Amino acid sequence: MDMVHLSIELPREVFSALRQDPEGFMREMRVAAAVKWYETGALSQSKAAEIAGLSRAEFINALNHFKVSLFQYSADEIVSEVRRR
Closest CA to 30 of 11, 3, 1, 70: 3
Residue 19 in this model has a pLDDT that exceeds 80: yes
Kindly report the length of the chain.
85
pLDDT of 58:
97
Cβ neighbors of 26 (< 8 A, separation 6 or more) are: none
- Rounded distance between C-alpha atoms, residue 4 and residue 32, angstroms: 19
State the average pLDDT over residues 1-7: 86
pLDDT of 77:
76
pTM of the model: 0.80
* Percentage, residues of the chain above pLDDT 70: 99
Q: Are 28 and 35 in contact (CB under 8 A)?
A: no
DSSP structural state of residue 19: T
